[in-house]
């Protein structure tokens, strides 16, 4: 057996308990700091169908755009900078590029452009950068971070012209790119889209009703064990409903103490999902708990893109085995919550 396969990959889990009523709670900042989300999963215990108000929030998630073979220098177009980047909250991410092998790019809502480049591309570009935090001793990957809102990067400025020359004359990068903007949407992105091959997309929603689901007591369950159980529910591991450890594919059973839910609703939404929409969903789930007369709870899990150059805030993200960067918010009817923030082997500790 390979040594790599024989060893369990390192992971980081930060767990915190607080209340939405506490003025010092950090929910808003934690939701905002995971910029590039591809999936949100919700579990509603003792629920058989999507509540109308919740369905309305899910269908209101922002649309996003897939730009095919985008020449990267187009992101420096003066009109695009003025109508979108300088206004804030533009989210852009290279699509189907692998952070451990390919050149990857992120355009962040604070106006920063992050390029994760292999060594050859970095040297050809000729722009300042630094070795990847997660590169090996040979330093075969570099990260270039440019603040497009800085005065030196204004169109015609020295830094701007240097980067533009690098991306047009020396390193002509092209890649598929996901784009979204809040709240301007497609109108603010039009200066860029009008010169490209693009398509508009709506996040995909799926629901599934579950029955006779073994469920741990969320208030007392160990955080690692609860996340394992919840992940198994969202990936449809059958042994949880059977409560058996003899399943060949999975020996996972529901942690003790446990109960059995007569029914539960599993909801997921996939796409380029903006933090603002996730925050709106959190607020609606809180309202759902308030309207329910049961002493119930609900969970929301938000997954960041595996191959994004950044994970939490401006922090570099890397992939070797897993690439996970996600958080799970466990909310209770009394306004208290548990939050689990998790990353894999090639990330720094979540905030």
Task: Locate the domains of the chain by residue range.
Answer: 3-61+203-343, 64-201
**Lowest-confidence range among 41-50, 181-190, 287-296?**
287-296
**Of residues 292 and 87, which shows the higher confidence score?**
87
For 142, half-sphere exposure in the C-beta direction (CA atoms, 13 angstrom radius) is: 14
**How confident is residue 200, by pLDDT bands cut at 50, 70 and 90?**
very high
What pLDDT was estimated at residue 93? 97
Instruction: Band the pLDDT of 8: cuts 50, 70, 90.
Output: low
Written as six digits, the tokens of 236 are 């449809």
Section 174-191 average pLDDT:
92
Q: Are 101 and 90 in contact (CB under 8 A)?
A: no
Average pLDDT over residues 165-178: 94
Residue 250: predicted pLDDT: 56
Least confident of 116-125, 221-230, 247-256, 299-308: 247-256
Lowest mean pLDDT among 150-154, 181-185, 231-235: 181-185
How many Cβ atoms sit within 10 Å of the Cβ of residue 22? Answer: 12
Q: Are 153 and 147 in contact (CB under 8 A)?
A: yes
**According to the model, what pLDDT value does residue 7 have?**
54
Burial of 345 (0-12, 13-18, 19+ CB in 10 A): middle
Q: How many residues does the chain have?
A: 351
Contacts of 330 (CB under 8 A, 6+ apart): 218, 226, 297, 298, 299, 337, 338, 339, 340
Q: How many CB atoms lie within 10 A of CB 6?
A: 7
Q: What is the pTM of this model?
A: 0.91
Predicted confidence (pLDDT) at residue 1 exceeds the cutoff of 50: no
Average model confidence (pLDDT) for the chain? 88
Lowest-pLDDT range, 6-20, 108-122, 316-330? 6-20
Q: Report the alpha-carbon angle 219-222-226, nearest 5.
A: 80
* pLDDT at residue 149 is higher than 90: yes
- Residue 252, pLDDT > 80, answer no
Q: What is the DSSP letter of 347?
A: B
Examine the pLDDT at 135 and tell me if it is beyond 80.
no
Q: Is the pLDDT of residue 239 over 70?
A: no
């Amino acid at each position: 057996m390979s040594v790599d396969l024989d060893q369990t990959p390192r992971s980081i889990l930060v767990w915190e308990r607080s209340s939405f009523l506490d003025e010092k709670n950090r929910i808003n900042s934690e939701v905002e700091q995971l910029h590039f989300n591809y999936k949100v999963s919700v579990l509603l215990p003792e629920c058989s169908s999507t509540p109308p108000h919740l369905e309305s929030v899910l269908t209101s998630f922002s649309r996003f755009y897939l730009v095919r073979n985008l020449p990267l220098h187009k992101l420096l177009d003066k009109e695009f900078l003025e109508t979108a980047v300088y206004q804030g909250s533009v989210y852009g991410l290279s699509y189907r590029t692998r952070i451990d092998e390919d050149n990857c790019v992120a355009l962040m809502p604070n106006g920063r452009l992050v390029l994760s480049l292999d060594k050859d591309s970095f040297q050809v570009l000729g722009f300042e950068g630094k070795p990847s935090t997660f590169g090996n001793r040979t330093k075969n990957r570099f990260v270039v971070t440019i603040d497009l809102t800085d005065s030196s990067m204004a169109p015609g400025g020295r830094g701007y012209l240097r980067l533009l020359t690098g991306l047009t004359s020396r390193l002509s990068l092209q890649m598929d790119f996901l784009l979204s903007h809040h709240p301007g949407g497609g109108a603010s992105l039009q200066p860029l889209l009008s010169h490209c091959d693009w398509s508009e997309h709506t996040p995909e929603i799926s629901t599934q009703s579950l029955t006779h689901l073994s469920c741990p007591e969320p208030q007392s369950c160990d955080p690692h064990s609860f996340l394992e159980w919840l992940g198994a529910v969202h990936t449809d591991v059958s042994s949880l409903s059977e409560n058996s450890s003899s399943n060949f594919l999975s020996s996972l059973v529901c942690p003790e103490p446990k109960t059995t839910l007569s029914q539960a609703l599993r909801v997921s939404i996939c796409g380029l999902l903006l933090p603002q929409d996730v925050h709106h969903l959190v607020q609606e789930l809180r309202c759902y708990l308030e309207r329910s007369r049961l002493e119930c709870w609900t969970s929301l899990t938000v997954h960041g893109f595996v191959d994004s150059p950044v994970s939490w805030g401006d922090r570099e993200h890397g992939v070797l085995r897993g690439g996970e960067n996600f958080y799970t918010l466990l909310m209770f009817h009394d306004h208290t919550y548990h939050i689990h923030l998790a990353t894999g082997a090639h990330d720094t500790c979540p905030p």
